[in-house]
């Protein structure tokens, strides 16, 4: 019975909750150090184990998993999980066992090493390994063992994919008089970001028994599709379902999967996952040409001895250098100040970001935003020789507090004289 439960076990890897993988398959990309996850997965499976004759060994299983973990260093995530078995239904045969319910399964301790993890679109490589601890109830422990996998994955704009292959070693107790041993396993998944916080995906997985399985079907494969709500930080939820591709150990006729959890990170994975900055910097649309600059309220921009002070924030699209419509009246006011004061010969457009995200990403984002503002002013008739653009990233914050209000203050564009 223990092996039947173990081969039917799905998993909740940390890369599921940080959107680096699919519903059940891990991915090779990690968020920054200090990111962590905790969550629960429940899977309801019909007919996950049969004899070669088609006769059912187990009719239905309901298995739950609690998982938590975090990125402890650059490229290294540690994970821990525990299985629970709230319910099992088996057919009534002479060989049937008295089954426990609401039993505890085995615990697992593991790690994922991201060997190659580009910050933008590209292909990553990771190694995933975990040890299985024989902590389960007598009928629900698969014994001591472990699993190791090599994971390859990629991401480009809104699309991502991952492949994995590995070996599961099981020092399992006999199941119906059969000791099935270890297996080769693998899988693949794809996912697509339909909108900012919603992902759609599909995955397949399979396994091949390394030892004879007798009258049990050893080789198996199944598929799943899912939809998930995964904001950068906060509550996460996903629901999916699937069924059999190749009938065998752990491949049900039908499966329902539900995950829920919480993820806390610095958002750097989400920022680069969609690859928006690269595309927008390389193919940025020029600001609209204004046939005639409209007078701006004097209160929006004023000239001091050291800078042009703007009383409103210049806003951009999320993680991009695309100006929002609300920026137009502010930039018109700055252009008006420059026209009215020809003695101002040099102005530096300075872009700043908050502290969240990778430092290199923030530096490039601030530079791209400063350049977008400069382009707008040139398009509005300001001489290019009077302007320069520079991005400071997160280096010069107005406040060192770690709050949403502080981050909003630190994300800004400034106009400094004489640089």
Task: State the chain's mean pLDDT as an integer.
Answer: 81
Range of the domain at 77: 2-273
Do 263 and 411 fall within a single domain? no
Low-confidence ranges of the chain (pLDDT < 50): 1-2, 94-96, 98, 271-286, 296-298
What beta strand segments (E) does 339-381 contain? Answer: 347-352
CATH number (domain holding residue 58): 2.40.160.40
Do 237 and 305 fall within a single domain? no
Name residue 406's beta-bridge partners: none
Query: According to the model, what pLDDT value does residue 119 have?
Result: 64
Ramachandran category for residue 366: left, alpha or beta (phi over 0 → left; psi -120 to 50 → alpha)? alpha
* Residue among 196, 147, 156, 141 nearest 26 (CA): 147
Q: Which residues of 75-103 are buried (b: 16+ CB within 10 A; e: fewer)?
A: bebbbebbbbbeebebeeeeeeeeeeeeb
Query: According to the model, what pLDDT value does residue 128 have?
Result: 93
Do 206 and 310 fall within a single domain? no
CATH number (domain holding residue 401): 3.30.1330.60
> In this structure, what token pair is assigned to residue 24?
């059940």
Name the domain count of the chain. Answer: 2
Do 231 and 340 fall within a single domain? no
Do 133 and 235 fall within a single domain? yes
Do 201 and 320 fall within a single domain? no
Do 249 and 311 fall within a single domain? no
The residue out of 223, 258, 273 marking a domain boundary is 273
Do 249 and 299 fall within a single domain? no
Query: According to the model, what pLDDT value does residue 234 have?
Result: 85
Query: According to the model, what pLDDT value does residue 271 have?
Result: 45
Do 384 and 266 fall within a single domain? no
Report d(CA 399, CA 392) in Å as an integer: 15
Cα atoms in the Cβ-side hemisphere of radius 13 Å centred on 336:
19
The residue out of 238, 273, 308 marking a domain boundary is 273
Do 245 and 316 fall within a single domain? no
Do 94 and 232 fall within a single domain? yes
**Under 8 Å CB-to-CB from 284, ≥6 apart: which residues?**
321, 322, 368, 372, 375
* Residue among 214, 186, 163, 224 nearest 3 (CA): 214
Query: According to the model, what pLDDT value does residue 322 have?
Result: 92
The residue out of 273, 294, 318 marking a domain boundary is 273
Note whether 140 and 100 are within 8 A (CB). yes
Ramachandran category for residue 163: left, alpha or beta (phi over 0 → left; psi -120 to 50 → alpha)? beta
Do 262 and 243 fall within a single domain? yes
Pairing of strands 145-156, 159-170: antiparallel
| Start-to-end CA span in the chain (Å) | 74
Note whether 184 and 167 are within 8 A (CB). yes
- What Å distances lie between residue 222 and 10, 45, 240, 244, 249, CA to CA? 11, 12, 13, 4, 10
DSSP state string for 211-265? S--TTB---EEEEEEEEEE--SSEEEEEEEEEEEEE-STT--SEEEEEEEEEEE-
- What Å distances lie between residue 73 and 33, 77, 114, 129, 360, CA to CA? 5, 7, 11, 17, 18
- What Å distances lie between residue 171 and 182, 284, 389, CA to CA? 8, 58, 63
Query: According to the model, what pLDDT value does residue 93 have?
Result: 53
Report d(CA 372, CA 366) in Å as an integer: 10
Query: According to the model, what pLDDT value does residue 35 have?
Result: 86
């Amino acid at each position: 019975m223990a092996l039947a439960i173990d081969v039917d076990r799905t998993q909740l890897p940390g890369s599921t909750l940080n959107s680096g993988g699919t519903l059940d398959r891990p991915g090779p990309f990690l968020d920054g150090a200090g990111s962590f996850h905790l969550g629960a997965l429940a899977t309801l499976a019909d007919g996950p184990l049969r004899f070669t004759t088609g006769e059912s060994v187990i009719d239905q299983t309901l298995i739950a998993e609690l998982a938590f973990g975090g990125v402890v260093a650059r490229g290294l995530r540690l994970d821990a999980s525990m299985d629970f078995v709230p319910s099992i239904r088996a057919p009534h045969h002479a060989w049937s066992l008295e089954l426990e319910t609401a039993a505890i399964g085995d615990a697992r301790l593991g790690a994922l090493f991201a060997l190659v993890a580009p910050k933008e679109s590209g292909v990553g490589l990771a190694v995933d390994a975990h040890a299985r601890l024989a902590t389960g109830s007598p009928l629900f422990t698969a014994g001591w063992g472990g699993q190791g996998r090599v994971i390859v994955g990629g991401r480009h704009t809104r699309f991502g994919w991952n492949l994995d292959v590995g070996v599961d070693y099981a020092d399992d107790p006999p199941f119906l008089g059969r000791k099935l041993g270890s297996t080769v396993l693998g899988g693949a998944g794809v996912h697509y970001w339909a909108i900012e916080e919603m992902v759609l995906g599909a995955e397949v997985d399979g396994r091949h028994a390394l030892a004879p399985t007798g009258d049990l079907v050893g080789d198996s494969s199944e598929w799943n599709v899912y939809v998930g709500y995964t904001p950068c930080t906060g509550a996460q939820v996903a629901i999916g379902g699937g069924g059999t591709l190749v009938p065998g150990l752990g491949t049900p006729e039908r499966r329902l999967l539900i995950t829920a959890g919480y993820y806390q990170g610095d958002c750097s994975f989400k920022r680069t996952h969609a690859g928006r900055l690269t595309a927008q910097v390389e193919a940025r649309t020029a600001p609209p040409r204004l046939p005639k600059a409209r007078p701006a309220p004097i209160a929006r921009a004023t000239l001091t001895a050291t800078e042009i002070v703007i009383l409103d924030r210049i806003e951009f699209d999320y993680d991009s250098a695309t100006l929002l419509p609300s920026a137009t009246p502010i930039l018109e006011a700055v252009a008006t100040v420059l026209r009215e004061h020809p003695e101002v010969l040099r102005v530096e457009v300075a872009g700043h970001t908050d502290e969240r995200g990778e430092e290199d990403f923030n530096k490039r984002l601030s530079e791209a935003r400063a350049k977008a503002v400069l382009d707008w002013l040139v398009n509005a008739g300001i001489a290019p020789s009077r302007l320069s653009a520079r991005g400071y990233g997160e280096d010069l914050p107005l406040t060192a507090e770690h709050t949403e209000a502080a981050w909003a203050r630190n994300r800004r564009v400034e106009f400094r004289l004489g640089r």
